[in-house]
Structure 1
Amino acid sequence: MGKLHSKIKHNTYKYRTEGYLEENSSVKVVQEYKPAHTDAVSSVTALNSAICVSGGKDKMVVAYNWKSGDILKKFKGHEGEITKVACVLGSNQFFSASRDKTAIMWEFNGNLQPAQQFPGHDMVVTGLAVNPDSSQICTGSRDNTLCLWDVSTGECLQKVTISRNLVTHLCWIPREPLILQTSEDKIIRIWDSRGLQVAHRFPIKQHIQTYCDVSPDGYNCISCSSGFEGEGCEATLWDLRQTRSKICEYKGHFQTVTSCVFLPIELIPTPAIATSSFDSKVKIWNRDTGACLFTLPLDGSGPLTSLAVCDLSFLLCASFNSGIHLLKINNIKGLQMQEVANF
């Protein structure tokens, strides 16, 4: 953090500002933009095709133009570290959760004050999901509870507690009134938002489940796990349709896997997912075979905390020590992924 706006670092390829890889070059230029945060970044998501939203240990929520490297707005309202940020892609609204036990709604085109607040948990809020029309959010906490909220009024519509259900992540399933949830009790649950009741439980895993994501078609989901020295440290693909069974596992990280996302089908000919880990590596996997297609080490970044797809060719990766990394995926001459900017 605290890097100069114009600082550039070198590695193995060269990146030109128009976004193409320059062939036969031994130099890679990573553009260093003004840092979005002054401390570790815990979560990042794409608001639209040019703007991302992130939250960090500095208690700030930041809207950033990742294409130009400009900080657009900083939102201050939480009294504790930001744990999650979430939104519906293309919306004007986005949400943040915090160690201060609350969630907040912000409006990008509004002022810098909270547009709505959602207090009600007794411990840190660690899960945050938004329904497709942004009319409801679901929050989860280390207090073993899930809360369903009306966005317009801030009213808590439902609150459910399950013993030992220390929520780690929440994700709304597209086109369904269903919410996917991972937990420290190693169980992945599907909740029906219409009564906030458990609709399905996947077979229990061997390690804490840290994160989850749902494919855009709503047919599959992935979860990832904690671990150490290669034990655990995997991602798992599940069927969300009739069988709801395990399809494939992705093993190759050496520390806790913190984030997993489906990659756009237009980007790579074969269906693929990406994962990030405390081992400072981002990996791309063949979704169907489990083969690792590419590994990108982000040396010096410290633990990686969050991934977000920001358009058909770029990923955002948040880190403990070096802000947010912009990663370009290229499949013109064999799959490549490289860091092209940092902020």
Structure 2
Amino acid sequence: MGKLQSKIRRRSDLYRATKGEALECGPVTQVIEYDPAHTDAINCVTTLNSDLCVSGGSDQAVVVYDWRAGKLAQAFHGHNREVTKVKCIPGGTRILSASRDKTVLMWDVNRGAEAVQEFCGHELVVNGLAISPDGLQVCTGSRDNSMCLWDIESGECLQRKTISRNLVTHVCWVPGTHSIVQTSEDKAIRVWDSRTWQVTNTFPAKQYIQTYCDVSASSNYLLSSSNGFGGQGCEATLWDLRQPGCKVVEYRGHLQTTACCVFLPPSPGAQPTVATSSHDGSVKIWDQNTAACLCTLTLDGSGPLVSLAPCDVDSLLCASFKTGMHVLNLAHGAQVELKEVARF
């Protein structure tokens, strides 16, 4: 597909900030609407560089979008089921996408619309996808209870291990190390050594399914998020990776499943923060150390908010089931404010 020129129109924003212990996030403002990136629910989003994001959707497409300019850059079609996860090889032009069709495909934005590599071997949906810090290997995890390690260039499966009831929900490679962290529907968090392909640590099982995980840039801390309903479960948890199984704080306040949790880039002079998104349609910003909720933004009519991608200190992308991709502005000051500024 060629570049699609966006038709920009303005309207009154529909969001509201929830009340309670969280600060209301700014007055009603206007939101720029660009042409949509997907024709169905968006399941995942990440960043390729400072201007381009990559998303995967239930429409089976992998889309590269210039989120600053509001223009479609490229779309890839090769999966025959919905796309579950997308990752980009650091500092390059290659993208990997996992799907319910049991495969992982690799694309290159400089090499046309066809996949340049395929990774086949899982027996069920692939929910976990992580790339090694050197960009040479990819780790995948599936509902078939297996974790696999692949050579990116050849597509060869280097390692495979199956653990009973380990229905993988997400995978993260710990920056600068040989360690991989994965969450599972069996409520456990496991740490793997990519050299031996053995589990080196298992965190204490939580009460509910663990849906997502993220690792801090320092490699010291891990975030995991929890399934739940009616305010039970629904939390995110900060763990100390230097003391496996050591729970630091919990972030509680969502009313439904917390689908995503991410560390936010540090703002000079500000306290470290994390963000969570939930099936209750809200995004929350938290003080990383105290677990105080600094701000809540609810996106009306969005349905579940399933994926977050920090772009820079001030910008955060949020993928939704019903209203596309939301561009959020994060203002740091005496009070933290979160506003929706665009959607596509």
The normalised TM-score by structure 1 is: 0.93
What is the aligned partner in structure 2 of residue 20 from structure 1? none
Q: Shift of residue 11 of structure 1?
A: 3.6
Partner Cα distance (2:28, 2:251) in 1: 31
What is the aligned partner in structure 2 of residue 111 from structure 1? 112
Which of 303-312 and 236-245 deviates more?
Answer: 236-245
Residues 37, 56 of structure 1: 8 Å contact kept: yes
Please give the residue correspondences for 1:314-325 in structure 2 after superposition, counting only pairs within 5 Å.
Answer: 314-325=315-326
SS in 2 for 1:39: coil
Please give the residue correspondences for 1:202-221 in structure 2 after superposition, counting only pairs within 5 Å.
Answer: 202-221=203-222
Q: Shift of residue 92 of structure 1?
A: 1.1
Return structure 1 stretches of 4+ with deviation > 4 angstroms: none
Please give the residue correspondences for 1:13-162 in structure 2 after superposition, counting only pairs within 5 Å.
Answer: 27-162=28-163
What is the aligned partner in structure 2 of residue 309 from structure 1? 310
Identity of aligned residues (%): 55
Partner Cα distance (2:230, 2:245) in 1: 29
Q: Shift of residue 12 of structure 1?
A: 8.6
Partner Cα distance (1:86, 1:45) in 2: 6
What is the aligned partner in structure 1 of residue 341 from structure 2? 340
Amino acid at match of 2:95: F
1:186-217: CA deviation from partner (whole Å, max 9, x where unpaired): 00010111121101111110000000000001
Structure 2 CA distance for partners of 1:164 and 1:26, relative to 1, 3 Å: closer
1:250-289: CA deviation from partner (whole Å, max 9, x where unpaired): 0000000000000111267111100000000000011111
2:271 is the counterpart of 1:252: no
Amino acid at match of 2:250: E
Amino acid at match of 2:278: S
Residues 46, 89 of structure 1: 8 Å contact kept: no
Q: Aligned match of 2:9 in 7, 11, 14?
A: 7
Residues 12, 26 of structure 1: 8 Å contact kept: no
The normalised TM-score by structure 2 is: 0.93
Amino acid at match of 1:49: S
Residues 85, 128 of structure 1: 8 Å contact kept: yes
Residues 208, 227 of structure 2: 8 Å contact kept: yes
SS in 1 for 2:80: coil
Amino acid at match of 1:61: V
Amino acid at match of 1:7: R
Q: Shift of residue 108 of structure 1?
A: 1.6
Structure 2 CA distance for partners of 1:267 and 1:277, relative to 1, 3 Å: farther
Q: Shift of residue 9 of structure 1?
A: 2.6
Amino acid at match of 1:241: R
SS in 2 for 1:163: coil
Q: Shift of residue 88 of structure 1?
A: 3.6
Partner Cα distance (2:227, 2:92) in 1: 32
SS in 1 for 2:38: coil
**Structure 1 residues not aligned, in runs of 5+:** 14-24
Residues 268, 331 of structure 1: 8 Å contact kept: no
Q: Shift of residue 324 of structure 1?
A: 0.6
What is the aligned partner in structure 2 of residue 17 from structure 1? none
1:100-130: CA deviation from partner (whole Å, max 9, x where unpaired): 0000111122211101100100001111011
Partner Cα distance (2:7, 2:237) in 1: 39
Q: Shift of residue 99 of structure 1?
A: 0.5
Structure 2 CA distance for partners of 1:191 and 1:300, relative to 1, 3 Å: same
Structure 2 CA distance for partners of 1:12 and 1:43, relative to 1, 3 Å: closer
Structure 2 CA distance for partners of 1:73 and 1:267, relative to 1, 3 Å: farther
Q: CA RMSD in A?
A: 1.5
Amino acid at match of 2:302: S
